[in-house]
Chains A and B, each alone.
Chain A
Amino acid sequence: MNGKCFDIGVLQTFVDGELGSSKSEELVRHLSVCDDCTVLVAELESENDLAFSAMDQELNVLVPTERLRTKVFASINEIESGKSAGFWASVSAALGLNGLAARPGIAAFAAVLMFVAFAAIGLKVFSPVEPVQVAVNPTEEDTVEIVDPPADPPTSTANENIDIDPPSRTGDTVIPNPSSPTSVQAPVRAMRASYRETPRRTRRTPRRAVSTTAASPPAPSPNLAAEDSYLRTIATLSRTVDENKDFVLRPKERVSFERDLAVVNDAIKKMKGEVRKNPRNTAAREVLRSSYKSKIDLLNSVAERADTVATLD
């Protein structure tokens, strides 16, 4: 040993490939002249092999990702439903509707009114042909004034504009327009409708995906969709794994990986057969689904290691 020997921590950092390039060069130069440090590095490497291969076997357990996802998003759903109650409370506060809660009769009437309004808005939003007809009817009564607007681009937002525009023109003439009584509240309702459209869709997509894949639906059609997504994931993962397994897995691990994969593939094959024979066999479907999940987890474990190796390089 000489005075310039490196600390065990630095040697470990070197072994783990985390030492900066200049420090690494310095260390390599030192190793060429220092037997003690060279022996220590060799020991650290063999300890790495032993400790991490033992830990890999036991700590890289299969992760029940889908079950976890279901649980986490179910809890968040609960939190969200609490929040959305708060949201509507603040909306009603903003509109000064707090007093309604004290009078149940009026509240019920308001609820019916809102339901009808929502239904009307829903009809307009989802059937773009109808609003054009609605817009045309008043034009017949109003003569030429509103005949001009159709020259504007007939986009979906035009529907709302047509609803909102007439009241501003009612200063000149009295229009017997059936939409005018609700037109004051129309902007607010339209905003609500558009708000409910966008966030709900973005939020619900993962949850729906969860419930279709994990909550064991009895209907055959969602199951097929889930199977597609499983197969797609498996195909992508298989590609990554096939590219990397030769240098990521040690021979012993490779053998156990191939064996596990063969077992899972066999299970999938058998269960597919069962499900084809009898599509209503829910137990077989359940086993098929969990076999797919196991396969994804198994492939994931190798793919993750490939990622790690790639980042270390």
Chain B
Amino acid sequence: MFQGVKTLVDVMSGQTAAAQEDIVFDEAFTLHNRTVFRAACAIVHDAGLAEDITQETFIKLYHNMESITDEEMLKPWLIRVALNLAKNTIRGNSRANAREESYVKLHGDREEFTAEKEYEQSETAKEVNLALDKIKEPLRSCLILKQQGLSYKEIADSLSLKETSVGTYIARGKREFVRFYGKIGGVS
């Protein structure tokens, strides 16, 4: 019986800790859902997919609250998970849409998927997304995260890079973006 009561107390103290975690989780969601959504959207170019990725990211956070002891690491952790999920989604999509991919290969340049065509309406959006898609990793992620207002340290933590290399990646990524975006081609 004593063992039983001990188990009961353990279970209940675990539940109270979980209640505190819930509050922290709620704060984390309120603070970071926009950045997570936008970072994901910048990779997948689809609001619906970005929603799914954001949802999955925060559910992963819910399961891993205990493992994130340093509050500073919370945002980089979320971004890392979201970007990985976004890249996996793109990979999964491209596998699933093999026929579309062969069509893209046939026509040389990377065209957007049908879903993207429905979602993206303006030419500018296409240009920005196409330019981003052509930039190699980790330059692209650095650029996107910089645009989303992350500090160099947060970018470095999110992408497991050295903080001192982030400037170089951003400079190179941005240069590629500008070249692909086609506004100032002549800048060396």
Contact = CB atoms under 8 A, between A and B. Distances in A.
Given A67-B51, A91-B8, A56 B178 contact: no
Contact of B62 (A11, A56, A79): A79
A289 B16 CA distance: 35
Nearest to B147: A55
B164 to A, nearest CB: 7
Interface of A: 7-13, 16, 18, 43-44, 46-48, 50-52, 54-61, 63-65, 67-69, 71-72, 75-76, 79, 87, 90-91, 93-96, 188, 191, 195, 198-199, 202-203, 206, 300, 304-305, 307-308, 311
26 contacts: A8-B167, A9-B171, A12-B168, A12-B170, A16-B152, A16-B167, A44-B171, A46-B187, A50-B184, A51-B174, A54-B128, A54-B183, A63-B33, A63-B38, A65-B34, A68-B55, A69-B33, A79-B62, A90-B7, A91-B11, A94-B7, A195-B15, A199-B15, A202-B19, A203-B22, A308-B149
A198 B127 CA distance: 52
Contacts of B5: 94
Contacts of A198: 16, 19
Contacts, number: 160
Given A59-B38, A68-B55, A72-B58, 13 more contacts: A18-B166, A18-B167, A46-B184, A46-B187, A51-B174, A58-B128, A71-B51, A76-B62, A79-B62, A95-B8, A191-B12, A199-B15, A311-B151
Interface residues of B, number: 60
Dominant SS among interface residues on chain A: helix
Contacts of B4: 93-96
A13 B174 CA distance: 13
Contacts of B15: 87, 195, 199
Interface string B49-80: 00100110011001000000000000000000
Given A43-B187, A51-B174, A198-B19, A16 B55 contact: no
B98 interface: no
Given A48-B174, A65-B33, A199-B16, A12 B167 contact: yes
Nearest to B131: A54
Contact of A50 (B22, B29, B42, B183): B183
Contacts of B149: 304-305, 307-308
Interface string B133-166: 0000000000110111101100000000000111
A308 B145 CA distance: 13
A60 B124 CA distance: 13
